[in-house]
Chains A and B, each alone.
Chain A
């Protein structure tokens, strides 16, 4: 499986500011995803990060709030914009196993713990 890292691991931010989270994989993968896990809750898919094209967002998530970049097959960023306390969550990236693009198996990064004051 791939080694997935995220930066920062945690942050405390003021409301109204923005934070960019990085996800780095040690091998090329086709599919990269961003999830949100609110405190004590399950995982919710925010969007699929597409290399070379705009991300595909799930219902309830919009590009203006969560802009995503995917400049290559090993890296993606998620920005949480104009933050409010309701954005306090763990943000996780995940990638498909072996990078084949046809496998559903996903492996998660360590997550970024965000607290918005």
Chain B
């Protein structure tokens, strides 16, 4: 099955700086890569996703890049704000079953 590794496990950034989270996957057949944000006590919420026919996707301050050859994808958050503090999960799938990374706890320092 698919194995997704996520780094770092924790990330502390100064407000206004950028945050980068990286994930690698094992199954070369995986073709869909969503990112979820989970605030304390709340459900995971989809923030951005990318499919294998696209190398990069951006939505305001959030961007995701995909390198199929290297089997890794990354989440980039620019101009971080306190409300960006949360746990972020990457995931991968080649069917409907999502395999999640272990999560990254992002703390934005004011």
Residues of A within 8 A of B (CB): 31, 33, 41-45, 48, 58-59, 92, 96, 104-111
Contacts and interface: CB of A to CB of B under 8 A. Distances in A.
B46 to A, nearest CB: 7
Given A42-B103, A105-B46, A110-B42, 15 more contacts: A33-B96, A33-B97, A41-B102, A42-B89, A42-B101, A43-B44, A43-B98, A45-B99, A48-B97, A59-B1, A104-B95, A104-B98, A105-B32, A108-B36, A111-B43
B18 to A, nearest CB: 24
B80 interface: no
A97 B46 CA distance: 11
A110 B43 contact: yes
A92 B49 CA distance: 20
Interface residues of B, number: 21
A43 B100 contact: yes
Nearest to A45: B97
Contacts of B32: 104-105
Q: By CB atoms of chain A within 10 A, which of B89, B95, B98 has the most? A: B98
A40 to B, nearest CB: 9
